[in-house]
Amino acid sequence: MYFGLSEDQIFFQENVSKFLEDQASLDIIRSITEGDSLELQGEIHSGLVNLGLGSLLIPEEFGGLGLDLLFATAVSQSLGGGIAPIAFTGSYIMAPLAIIFGGNQIQKERYLTQMSKNSIRIGVGFSQYIGARDNSTIEMNSNKISGRSLFVLDAKDATHLMLSDANGVIGLVSKNSSGIEIVELTTVDKTRSYSEVILNNVDVDVLEQTTSSNDAINKAVDGGRIILAADSIGASQRLIDKAVAYSKERKQFGRVIGSFQAVKHMCAEMAADLEPCYSLVWHAAYCFDNSPDEARLMACHAKSHVSEISKMIAKKATEVHGGMGFTDLMGLHYWFKRIGVNRHTLGAPELVREEAANIQNF
């Protein structure tokens, strides 16, 4: 029995990889992270949207492609491998999923149709539901929202913000509404945006079905976790490829370092540890749409396990490069940092494992 990506999924994945290879070289990524090529970043985003990234999960009735999460997972691997400097997990995965599973028909038509046309873009902040911090609360009363949300994904270029309270109630606000203050947060990963949002009695459109059920926010979080795991897999694979290539070129004591047993073992261990992660993440994405009883548990397993494996690979790949691996010239730090931020976004491994235990009533 064959279990893997379909020809269509691989074709789409390869198109995204080819686009990033041509339009987002390491020099361009470096320039973007230094703030010198923001216009070029917009062009990269527009190019990927034209490939269909903005409407992957949106149903066809609202102008989208109507694909499943496994398809989006395949795309996310390419985005991680190419360290794509664009919004994806929040705007194009979590936001549409929350509306699909939590919005009424009017809300779906209002938001999903515009999202499929790329006329609106939504930043997502669910930190209050996943793991609240001190002085970080969100309150929704009488169609008004107030409070403070940390680590809001993709808010920088968004037109709307999707936020939740501790009970999983989801509301959408226009970014241009009065009473909103957005502070861009500085993280080690400069390829994506993370923000703090402060709200003071702002008009909010509460997703109707989330007032009585947490299904919408749980589906959005699960989907986001699987996508982040796939992104880390793509980044990890690129680091392995770079480590192997470097070990075949770099010479010490008159021999390429790839001929030394210690380096061979490091490369083999990275490849052996990463390979099972593919099937784990693909199975989690399959369960998301086809096996609801397993979906939440598999999403937790995928996110927590890949976070640990990718962290190890980032460390070993850098070590294979020796002193050069720690320099800006090699550019390994872009993948290293992306993996590190993915590890903690939407729940660190320890928190996600605790959720998995609770799901199984341990």
Torsion sign over Cα 254, 259, 261, 264? positive
**Architecture field, domain 215-359:** Up-down Bundle (1.20)
What pLDDT sits at residue 228? 98
Q: Which superfamily does 120-211 belong to?
A: Butyryl-CoA Dehydrogenase, subunit A, domain 2 (2.40.110.10)
* Per-position pLDDT tens, the chain of length 362: 567 789 999 999 999 999 999 999 999 999 998 887 778 888 999 999 999 998 999 999 999 999 999 999 999 999 999 999 999 999 999 999 999 999 999 999 999 999 999 999 999 999 889 876 767 789 998 899 999 998 999 998 899 999 999 889 999 999 999 999 999 988 899 999 899 999 999 999 999 876 556 789 999 999 999 999 999 999 999 999 999 999 999 888 889 988 899 999 999 999 999 999 999 999 999 999 999 999 999 999 999 999 999 999 999 999 999 878 778 888 899 999 999 999 999 999 999 999 999 999 87
Rounded to 5°, the CA angle 111-91-50 comes to 90
- 3.40.640.10, 3.40.50.150, 1.10.540.10, 3.90.1150.10: which CATH number matches 7-88+104-115? 1.10.540.10
Residue 358 identity (one-letter amino acid)? N
Q: How far apart are CA 72 and CA 82, in angstroms?
A: 15
- Residue showing tokens 């996310």: 76
Task: Kindly report each contact of residues 174-179 with a partner whose C-beta sits within 8 Å and lies 24 or more positions away, as own/partner.
Answer: 174/203, 175/123, 177/202, 177/203, 178/202
pLDDT attached to residue 16: 96
Domain boundaries along the sequence of the chain:
7-88+104-115, 120-211, 215-359
Residue 202 bridge partners (DSSP): 145
